[in-house]
Structure 1
Amino acid sequence: MSERLTAREAIARVSSAFTELPAPEGRFAPEGRSASEGRSVADGPIAWQGYDEQHSRAELRTGERESAICGTGTVDGIEVVLISFEFGFLGGSLGERTGDRLEAAYTHARERRLPLVSLIATGGSRMQEGMRALVQLQRVARQSTLTRAAGLPQIAVVRDPSTGGGWATLGAGADVVLALPGAQIGFAGSRVRPADADPAAYTAEAQLAAGHVDAVVTQEELRQTLGRWLTLLTAPSDAPAPPPHALGRAELPATGWEAVQHARSADRPRAAAYLDDYFETREAISGDRSGGVDPGMLCGFGLREGRAIAYAAQCGTATLPAGYRTAARLIRLADRLGVPVLTLIDTPGAANDAAAEHAGAGPAIADAFAAVAAARVPVTTLVIGEGGSGGALALASPGNTWATPDSYFSVIAPELAAAILKRGPDQARATAEQLRLRPQDLVDLGIARGVVSTG
């Protein structure tokens, strides 16, 4: 488990030149009531006996006036708005005055066009303020939505512990979610979980495996990791990503079956090799935020010649529903931030077993199609291996798709096409020729713009 830091120590570990924002004078009040009416004179908005004394003790113990500290600082030379939670202050809980501070921070980020970084350590909403505390989650959600609509990135660093509404809004609602090793993370805090709950299910590592966080990062690596992410997410560009050059064979296939064999060769370069060759540095996002991770889909942002480009790359396996949802998440994030997208196609097709159907293969593929279709940023596609039917086409850019010499793209695999046509297995070769699936055929048919050459 990572070292538990105070809110200010957490800020100091990742940033410099921190300047705290003034504490807002106003108080959150329900619509139709003035701010001065929003809080009871004694013991808070619901007159919780002893609350004022608890609050005063928290101030004395921590030296803070509230559970969240908000201000501006620099991370690797990039100015950001920082929100940091003090868990020692009533468990880092969110109350009305916390909501005032968070709203002011989000507003400042939009006014100054700055990315927002949240260093989260909270047990959730403050019981002593009742429903007036709980509705702060709606307030945070609105501010996050406005900031997202403004095209500004939000990065969450999930510290120990991060539970309840704080995790479900500032944490899970961020564009990129980083977690410290061993951090306790979950909507349910340790005291309200089922008695037989496995504690290991509520850790940073478990949330990563389930697709709810993008990476587990040590405290020592956090500043540099945040710096790289901020560089990648704050560099919009109108220019399309150039297609990578081919890393495999240079000769075009003579026949359709030869194209299929080349694309299926175990020796052919795969997505990771293309990404390593294309980018100077890259950072990955992971998971579909719905409980799934597909190791056969690599998604993230990278720097190429100093320019940020987002990528979604199939790795040659049947793509799972989680893979399509992760790719769609990546494309929509890049679109909001104005970052061009590169997709690499390499799959025999979408996973079509019972588990995939149960996980929503059709809706997930539809979501990927929709993300590509709606993208306002340029999307570039390179077919680097197998282009298996709609499972591959879902990531293809209409009008800006390219192919390598050792790839193919087909309405269906030739063996399956032969079976559908009630032909014998020995007819797969001839069927491959009829399908016109070679890279040069794709160019002739107007599907691909061209065949890329080797470097």
Structure 2
Amino acid sequence: MGGGARGGARPGGAGRPRGATAVAAQAPARRAVRGRAAAQRPGQGAEAGAAVNAPDPLGWPGYRDQVARARERTGGVESVSWRRTRRAVEVVFDFRFLGGSVGTATGDVVEAAFGQARAAGLPVVSRISTGGSRMQEGMLSLRQLQRVAALCARHRAAGLPHVSVLGDPTTGGLWASLGAGADYVIAVAGAQVGFAGSRVRPADDPAYTAEGQFAAGAVDLVAEPGDVDALVAAVLELLTRGDAVPAEVPRALGAEDLPADGWDAVLRARAPERPRAARYLDDYFDLRVPVNGDRAGGVDPGVLCGIGLRGERPVAFAAQTGTATTPAGFRTASRLIRLAERFALPVLTLVDTPGAANDPAAERAGVGPAIAELFTVVAESRVPVTTLVIGEGGSGGALALASPEHTWITPDAYFSVIAPELAANILKRDDVPALADDLRLRPQDLVELGVVRGIASHG
């Protein structure tokens, strides 16, 4: 079932086993971890953080007594502890301990955890449940956010993954540092998640929930509590096995014959029954997890991004679904490729769009800079990018996702400088089908012109 290519070299890659399992961003989390990934849960045998004294830098009335009662109630020495499992170092918050708040001693524990992870070459999993900074320690507490950010930066520079799990609640500065700054963010369904906690925000609103943060593109996946461990294991597996070997070209799933003329190519690419990205992803991967949102408040449901397992190899993917791509879609694809670079993951892009969104909302959201950013990210990518055009290849909005050197096309797709109808308007020509021929946009034309390396086979 491996992909092939006519008219060009076929990249290497493992054949795809049967029985693929896939998960879309909106699907229940448990679907992402069927089969062997579901069994790979973090081990037990946890290590607790070392005992720490409770500093009282402000001489806060009753603070030492509060800490003593929290220790008696929880059995822990601070609001955070860490433990080393078989696959990661886990930072674990306890909301029962002064609301999971962070002070200077808490920062010591987090630093010890990240130090252990770097020394052992292990990922960090942050299991967060916190109300934010500890007011009883004033600005010394708030400055722990800078400390945490520096720890995350050093961990990232070491090439090690960081996965955060947002429990109920995750608010304040720890959401805006340890939580949102992770490589992959999983939120527990129904959890309160937001920078503003319940006692300081103007009103309750769905924006302050796990689901609201997912809709705003700040969270990759919302999971039921019972699914979290298996999801964390699956994500760690995908992020720690990169080999930077080019992704195999997917096999073509639609028409086998080539179009007779340019207008025929356009009509075939626009046909409702033509296979779309979801079918290609289901056919190509055995399981996958989504990478959701541009981390700037935007989500484009017409661009599916994530990391999948094909045989034994993880591959990052960004796939257009046939709609006009918005600035959020381009930015999410850029984020996906940068993530892939950090962990040596090859990238597969599926091109299928009539073009970039060109309405006033897209212009106000920066569609031009978003496309420019993606062009740059693809051009500078340190991991191989493989592209298959599976439908409409409309102008710069399609080209932005395409590899400059490793692009293939299916028999029922086209690639064009502009849609034939728009070209006719610009050039003041009436015969659109004839103009489609003049644009040389058929798969076989594109091979001849050297725009694509070959035409994907049905192998």
- Residues 198, 204 of structure 2: 8 Å contact kept: no
Instruction: Please state how far the C-alpha of 1:204 moved relative to its aligned partner.
Output: 0.8
Q: 1:170 aligns with which of 162, 171, 178?
A: 178
Does structure 1 residue 435 correspond to structure 2 residue 443? no
Q: 2:99 aligns with which of 57, 66, 91?
A: 91
Identify the range of structure 1 (271-280 vs 443-452) with the bigger mean alpha-carbon deviation.
443-452
Q: 1:18 aligns with which of 45, 69, 75?
A: 45
Which structure 1 residue ranges, 5 or more long, are not aligned?
1-12, 28-38
SS in structure 2 at match of 1:377: coil
- 1:113-172 Cα distance to aligned partner (Å, 9 max, x none): 111111100001110000001000001001111111211111111000000011111111
- Residues 49, 81 of structure 2: 8 Å contact kept: no
- 2:75 aligned partner: 63
Q: Distance in 1 between matches of 2:41 and 2:107?
A: 23
- 1:48 aligned partner: 60
- 1:184 aligned partner: 192
Q: Distance in 2 between matches of 1:371 and 1:106?
A: 29
Instruction: Please state how far the C-alpha of 1:19 moved relative to its aligned partner.
Output: 2.6
- 1:131 aligned partner: 139
- 2:118 aligned partner: 110
Code of the residue aligned with 1:210 in structure 2: it is A
- Residues 42, 233 of structure 2: 8 Å contact kept: no
Code of the residue aligned with 2:326 in structure 1: it is L
- Residues 19, 73 of structure 1: 8 Å contact kept: yes
Code of the residue aligned with 1:428 in structure 2: it is V
- Residues 24, 104 of structure 1: 8 Å contact kept: no
TM alignment of 1:5-404, pairs within 5 A: 15-23=42-50, 44-74=56-86, 79-194=87-202, 197-404=203-410
Q: 1:453 aligns with which of 443, 454, 457?
A: 457
Q: Distance in 2 between matches of 1:238 and 1:163?
A: 37
Code of the residue aligned with 2:452 in structure 1: it is A
- 1:384-425 Cα distance to aligned partner (Å, 9 max, x none): 00000000011111110000001100111111011111222x
- 1:21-46 Cα distance to aligned partner (Å, 9 max, x none): 55277x9xxxxxxxxxxx96xxx112
- 1:171-225 Cα distance to aligned partner (Å, 9 max, x none): 111111111111000000000001xx23322111111111111111011111211
The alignment of Structure 1 onto Structure 2 pairs a total of residues equal to: 420
- 1:346-383 Cα distance to aligned partner (Å, 9 max, x none): 00000010111111111111121122112101110000
SS in structure 2 at match of 1:19: coil
TM alignment of 1:411-430, pairs within 5 A: 411-424=417-430, 427-430=431-434
Code of the residue aligned with 1:446 in structure 2: it is G
Q: Distance in 2 between matches of 1:395 and 1:312?
A: 8
Q: Distance in 2 between matches of 1:68 and 1:308?
A: 32
Instruction: Please state how far the C-alpha of 1:286 moved relative to its aligned partner.
Output: 1.0
Q: Distance in 2 between matches of 1:142 and 1:316?
A: 41
Q: Distance in 1 between matches of 2:343 and 2:42?
A: 23
Q: Distance in 2 between matches of 1:214 and 1:135?
A: 27
- 1:254-294 Cα distance to aligned partner (Å, 9 max, x none): 21111111111111000000000000111111111111111
Instruction: Please state how far the C-alpha of 1:228 moved relative to its aligned partner.
Output: 1.2
Instruction: Please state how far the C-alpha of 1:441 moved relative to its aligned partner.
Output: 1.3
Higher RCO structure (Cα 8 Å, ≥6 apart): 2
Q: Distance in 1 between matches of 2:49 and 2:82?
A: 9
Q: Distance in 2 between matches of 1:139 and 1:176?
A: 20
Q: Distance in 1 between matches of 2:245 and 2:356?
A: 30
Q: Distance in 2 between matches of 1:255 and 1:107?
A: 62
Instruction: Please state how far the C-alpha of 1:296 moved relative to its aligned partner.
Output: 0.5
- Residues 353, 391 of structure 2: 8 Å contact kept: yes
Q: Distance in 2 between matches of 1:244 and 1:136?
A: 47
**Aligned-residue identity in percent:** 61
* CA-based RMSD: 1.5
Q: Distance in 2 between matches of 1:50 and 1:210?
A: 40
Identify the range of structure 1 (152-161 vs 367-376) with the bigger mean alpha-carbon deviation.
367-376
Code of the residue aligned with 2:256 in structure 1: it is A
Q: Distance in 2 between matches of 1:398 and 1:187?
A: 40
Q: Distance in 2 between matches of 1:152 and 1:318?
A: 35
Code of the residue aligned with 1:137 in structure 2: it is L
Which structure 2 residue ranges, 5 or more long, are not aligned?
1-39
- Residues 14, 222 of structure 1: 8 Å contact kept: no
Instruction: Please state how far the C-alpha of 1:17 moved relative to its aligned partner.
Output: 2.2
- Residues 255, 433 of structure 1: 8 Å contact kept: yes
- Residues 24, 100 of structure 1: 8 Å contact kept: no
Q: Distance in 2 between matches of 1:240 and 1:24?
A: 48
Q: Distance in 1 between matches of 2:51 and 2:349?
A: 45
- 1:333-354 Cα distance to aligned partner (Å, 9 max, x none): 0111111000000000000101
Instruction: Please state how far the C-alpha of 1:55 moved relative to its aligned partner.
Output: 0.9
- Residues 305, 332 of structure 2: 8 Å contact kept: yes
Q: Distance in 2 between matches of 1:285 and 1:104?
A: 29
- 1:8 aligned partner: none
TM, length-normalised to structure 2: 0.89
- Residues 166, 188 of structure 2: 8 Å contact kept: yes
